Amino acid sequence: MRPALLLCLLLTMMTPTTIARNADNPHAPTAAATPVPPPPAWLPALEARYDAELRAAGLDDRVFTAEHWWTVTAPLLERTRGFHVEEIGRSVENRPLRHVRWGEGRTQVLLWSQMHGDESTASMVLSDLFRFLGEHPDDPQVEALRANTTLHFLPILNPDGAARFQRRNVQGIDINRDARMLATPEARTLKALYDKVKPMYGFNLHDQRVGYRAGDSDRGTAIALLSPPYNHAADVNDVRTRAIEVAGVIRTALEPYLAGHIARWDETFDPRAFGDLTTQWGSSTVLIEAGGIEGDVQKQRLRKLYFLGLVAALDSIATGSHQGVSPALYRELPENGDVWPDLLVRGGTLAVPGRPPMKADLLVNFRNPLMETDGAIADVGDLGRKKARRTISARDLFIVPLPGHAGERTLIEANDDGDNDERPSPLPLTPGASAHFVLSRDPQGRDVVWTLDGSVDPAATAPPSR
């Protein structure tokens, strides 16, 4: 067929909607999106019961130690309720790593949480799941899980990191990049449990950065999913097919609550990562990442939705209902897109003592983005069309550093002579400096409109974005 005739034929086959979509987004698929089926019929009733009957108490703050988590959770894990708990390892700082087992079925499922110490949402969810399994034995979903699966859990794999609420373990190792070398005791413990259980299904449970957008949109990602690849070609075999189906079940369960805010990770194979290697070893593994919902500063609403999605996934394994779920429900999710910074202060005048005033935008990132605590300057200058999760206008205002934070010196590790060295901290209102400043109507900082003293005061009203 001649090229011109073929082009005309293709254009006549495209609907106006398809043409408009491709004009807005040249990377969008040309086919219409696959309709998302309704969630399981039992899911709304489970949601209605969550707050009163299923949510584990004592985890209202997402920053907690492993010791606190076990204090809250251990009473839920009674042997009379079908739970078996054993210590199977120790962390670098000698904290216990425990294996929790529940169920009597043939299908083995392994779930692990908080291998990154500052990613605590899934650990809260596991406490809720334990309450659901133990306190509601007559629930149809619990009965199906007990009869058809044996669930194995390794909660809070990185207790030393959790003690500091940091990503890496106390040795500075990212445990999720230690599946190949097994240099850390935490990774060796997970691998030993994996080898013992030989699970058919695995769940790698995480949090991700709040700033991720869903595809090319302005919408934040609340939940991201991945069927990890087992090779660089990202081939799909029976193992991955099952994981893709289960991911589609999770999307179906959460679509009524989070439509447009569910994404997936890209399928770049990493031979050091546990999800990729557990897939390679033969387990249908699903990665679930909790992003954020604006205003949900302790991730408690997201905790509930994560719980619902996980129960739906496990139920689909117990009943086999994931079989035949369209892979398009997973494939058509947008990938995680740009990571938006946390706070953009637009159009102010920097008034730093000893320096000439300067018109500039200011970008701030927070260690805890949802709570806006422990901020640091990320960028300064003309930031053009830069977008952020929150933008406030400093037009006609001065950005003035708070006194007491200039001229600080930072102690660094011993030098080659064995002596401690000192290095000046970044100058105020420059990248890397802590965020301590006011928005003021005068350059001396006397007529203050708004203050950012490291953390945002939630009771203080900032100037609106203009």
- The DSSP string of 183-247 is -SHHHHHHHHHHHHH--SEEEEEEE--TTEEETTSSPBPSEEEE---SSTT----HHHHHHHHHH
Q: What is the mean pLDDT of the chain?
A: 91
Tell which residue, 199, 237, 232, 214, has the closest CA to residue 327: 237
Confidence of residue 148 (pLDDT cuts 50, 70, 90): very high
At position 76, the amino acid (one-letter code) is L
Confidence of residue 424 (pLDDT cuts 50, 70, 90): low
3-state SS string for 236-254:
CCHHHHHHHHHHHHHHHHH
* Per-residue pLDDT reduced to its tens digit, 328-358: 999 999 999 999 999 999 999 999 999 999 9
Helices (H), 411-454: none
- Of 4-13, 16-25, 398-407, the range with the lowest mean pLDDT is 16-25
Statement: residue 12 has pLDDT above 90: no
Which residues does residue 150 pair with via DSSP β-bridges, in sequence order? 103, 108
Q: What is the pLDDT of residue 423?
A: 60
Pairing between β-strand 262-264 and β-strand 223-226 as defined by DSSP bridges = parallel
* Per-residue pLDDT reduced to its tens digit, 194-226: 999 999 999 999 999 999 999 999 999 999 999
Residues in the chain: 466
Q: What is the pLDDT of residue 3?
A: 41
Sequence-distant (6+) residues with CB within 8 A of 148 are: 105, 106, 107, 317, 318, 319
Tell which residue, 316, 320, 315, has the closest CA to residue 132: 315
CA torsion through residues 348, 353, 357, 359, sign: negative
Helices (H), 31-117: 43-49, 66-73
Q: What is the pLDDT of residue 17?
A: 32
Tell which residue, 353, 441, 449, 366, has the closest CA to residue 401: 353
CB atoms within 10 A of CB 3: 7
Statement: residue 24 has pLDDT above 60: no
Alpha-carbon distances of 193 from 22, 66, 126, 162, 271, rounded to whole Å: 48, 19, 18, 21, 19
* Per-residue pLDDT reduced to its tens digit, 355-413: 999 999 999 999 999 999 999 999 999 999 999 999 999 999 999 999 987 544 443 44
pTM (whole model) above 0.85 = yes
Confidence of residue 422 (pLDDT cuts 50, 70, 90): low
* Per-residue pLDDT reduced to its tens digit, 435-463: 999 999 999 999 999 999 999 998 888 88
175, 157 Cβ separation under 8 angstroms: yes
Statement: residue 427 has pLDDT above 70: yes
Q: What is the pLDDT of residue 404?
A: 80
d(C-alpha 288, C-alpha 309), whole Å: 9
Statement: residue 20 has pLDDT above 50: no
Percentage of the chain surpassing pLDDT 90?
86
Largest CA distance in the chain: 78
